[in-house]
Structure 1
Amino acid sequence: MSAREIPFNRPYVTGRELSYVAEAHRNGQLAGNGPFTRRCQAWLEERIGCYKALLTHSCTAALEMAATLCEVQAGDEVILPSFTFVSTANAFVARGATPVFVDIRPDTLNLDGELVVEAISERTKVIVPVHYAGVGCDLTPYQAIARERGIFVVEDAAHSILATDEGRSLGSIGDLAAFSFHETKNLSSGQGGALAINDERLAARAEIIWQKGTNRSDFCRGAVDQYTWIDQGSSYLPGEIPAAFLSAQMEEADLITERRLAIWQTYHRELEGLEQRGWLRRPCVPEGSGHNAHIYHVLLSNAEARTRIIEFLRRKGIGAVFHYVPLHTSPAGRRYGREAGELTVTEDIAARLLRLPLWLGIEPLLPRVLRAVGEFFDTVEA
């Protein structure tokens, strides 16, 4: 990293990753489902509290597995926010379902539960709450209805490792949950993900789907003397090398979260004055939310201000970025999905949201970032 550049993200390493990768090589099992895969899955089951966890090669893969487990098919509808990454919709669109986009709340930027209830129809098969920035999405308005009507709840917990809401781990609340270990996430294997299974009735089939539609897991446990094609599935199991890398990250997960929270709190404290002057809005974190400091974002007054500050910070050597382009405004979103009412909050938030750099090691550089943000608004006021 140049002395004059502060990137938006820089992947963190604990120092043990390469030794674990070498150990995986010495073990002679690189194709996955070896000791490191099992170690990571056991960690997830303990820390999240899910019935079973399966590592995948991405969060997208975990969402695709969830769509198969929910038996999504043509004619079904899946309720989700438009303010999310494309994979949240793609996993279900690929199986013929129609994404039904619902607006978000202006405080947490998560699905508006009351609007979800209004959007439920006879065709609703799945509801996909996204826990934006590791802040828990409130599922209570529709959980009982979903249970009563046999609608699956699949948490998109891509941002949410070790985050909680009212003491519950995000990823342990719905029937299924998908996590990401992309290099931009709090814990990383470069590319990676996991499916958390909270309904034990889905666990056996999940393993089959995970193993290309075969009962290979039973074979490896000695439960059958050969394995064969049982069900639909795909190659969702990652190799042992990314699992070994992730294992080292998991060992320091609490420290990583603690350090990220300290950076987040520094931003939050130092930007309070700009919020009081009306120049920006800091994140709203509800009482009872144990967020994991995945993102620090601010809302500018309008889209023009957001564009100008991104360029101003770029000239200062600081990487700051916007986030999602609402899916309902995209070509594919218009082709495959539909809107449940107006999405005015989504469109407003997406136009004004700015993410500031947050990664382990940025601590001594934070004064530069904060000083540059302050200089931008001093220029505006002048």
Structure 2
Amino acid sequence: MIHFNKPPRTGNEDKYVLEAMNSLKISGDGAFGKRSQEWFEKRYGCPKTLLTPSCTHALEMAALLLDIKEGDEVIMPSYTFVSTADAFALRGAKIVFVDVRSETMNMDERLIEAAITPKTRVIVPVHYAGVGCNMDVIMDIATRHNLFVVEDAAQGFEATYKGKPLGTIGHLGAFSFHETKNVTSGGEGGLLLINDERFSQRAEIIREKGTNRSQFFRGMVDKYGWMDIGSSYLPSELQAAYLWGNLEEVDAIQNHRLNVWKMYYTKLEGLAQKGLIELPFIPEGCVHNAHMFYFKVQDLETRTALLEQFKAQNIGAVFHYLPLHSAPAGLKYGRMFGEDVYTTKESERLVRLPLYYGISNEEIDAVCDILMKWSAC
């Protein structure tokens, strides 16, 4: 069996999780949590980062920080995970979906401006497969229309756009440390990146159930109380300890994943040249992170038959998102702006191949052999 994913485990996670368990503090913001946040702030030049139990929670915090309320509109792609929309729909916002670029599956920045209304508050670019959206255009639109930008960089860890780390370009950003991501905090986890410092203090309060508890522990106040709305957005120290084990070996993880991505690309180039598949496209100025390797086939029928062949050989190749705009909740809480030219059609063509830290060259060969046999039929 070749699994689609295996959570990254480098060797020190066991030691650090046990160290956290044996400490006197296993709730949030312990030594491993603070160490991890400092790592991100230093590596990415971000003013403030806060670990969260998931990327979903980081996006929910962003919606709270921006005071999203009923009647507001938030622009995002339909081709994304449900959490991107959920975070804002929970606050009463109307989700305005726009079509994607076929070559990257990222939101088509050329459609955003026409989708803006007097009710628009936020633009949420989603960096699919760790490939950056056109952030220059998006930030320019946001500036001219006085809008906020929240980067859903769930897949964007260690990827850049014109030299800037994804997640650090908008006012706020969100990472995922789910077990399918490049690094994980024990299966679930996330990070809120606060790039606009006016949100830093309130973010701490929202994260601590609406209290100024973090300031109390730093000795800034002599007691803490209820200051604002909020929720429990702290991950446990066990999650942070596992994450630290991954972060210590991030270069090894990334080098391995990038090598796997390159191997797939090289081995499958011949099929692309024959017009049997389309390989990923990386725009100029974007440096991807090998979060996933995908390709596209002719249509849904072709994909279904190919995935059956992978399944018969116990290989975990899979499709990805179902577009949100046509889902029951998408119809209830959102609307599609303009035509769905590419979102549905391209989503039905996409196939993702196994890619994880530790996958062997022999396993990569076995995956590619299935494709070679399929192409010869």
**Fold agreement, TM-score > 0.5:** yes
Which structure 1 residue ranges, 5 or more long, are not aligned? none
How far the C-alpha of 1:150 sits from its partner, in A, is 2.5
How far the C-alpha of 1:23 sits from its partner, in A, is 1.1
Alignment of 1:1-382 (within 5 A): 5-189=1-185, 190-364=187-361, 365-379=363-377
TM-score by length of 2: 0.98
Post-superposition CA distance 1:50-71 (Å, at most 9, x none): 1100000000000000000011
Amino acid at match of 1:6: I
Query: Whole-Å Cα distance in 2 between the matches of residues 141 and 319 of structure 1?
Result: 37
RMSD: 0.8
Contact kept in structure 2, 1:73 and 1:95, CA below 8 Å: yes
Post-superposition CA distance 1:198-251 (Å, at most 9, x none): 000000000000111000010000001111000010000001000000001011
Query: Whole-Å Cα distance in 2 between the matches of residues 347 and 353 of structure 1?
Result: 10
How far the C-alpha of 1:108 sits from its partner, in A, is 1.4
Query: Whole-Å Cα distance in 1 between the matches of residues 183 and 138 of structure 2?
Result: 30
Amino acid at match of 2:367: V
User: Between the two proteins, what is the percent identity of the paired residues?
Assistant: 52
User: Which stretch shifts more, 352-361 or 60-69?
Assistant: 352-361
Structure 1 residue ranges, 4+ long, deviating more than 3 angstroms after superposition: none
Post-superposition CA distance 1:172-191 (Å, at most 9, x none): 10000010000000001110
How far the C-alpha of 1:141 sits from its partner, in A, is 2.1
Query: Whole-Å Cα distance in 2 between the matches of residues 145 and 369 of structure 1?
Result: 42
Contact kept in structure 2, 1:48 and 1:162, CA below 8 Å: no
The alignment covers a number of residue pairs equal to: 375
* 1:317 partner SS: coil
Contact kept in structure 2, 1:48 and 1:171, CA below 8 Å: no
User: Which stretch shifts more, 336-345 or 82-91?
Assistant: 336-345
How far the C-alpha of 1:26 sits from its partner, in A, is 2.4
TM-score by length of 1: 0.97
Query: Whole-Å Cα distance in 2 between the matches of residues 311 and 94 of structure 1?
Result: 37
Query: Whole-Å Cα distance in 2 between the matches of residues 46 and 161 of structure 1?
Result: 14
* 2:111 partner SS: helix
Post-superposition CA distance 1:20-40 (Å, at most 9, x none): 011112221001101000011
Query: Whole-Å Cα distance in 2 between the matches of residues 109 and 148 of structure 1?
Result: 25
Contact kept in structure 2, 1:182 and 1:192, CA below 8 Å: yes
Which structure 2 residue ranges, 5 or more long, are not aligned? none
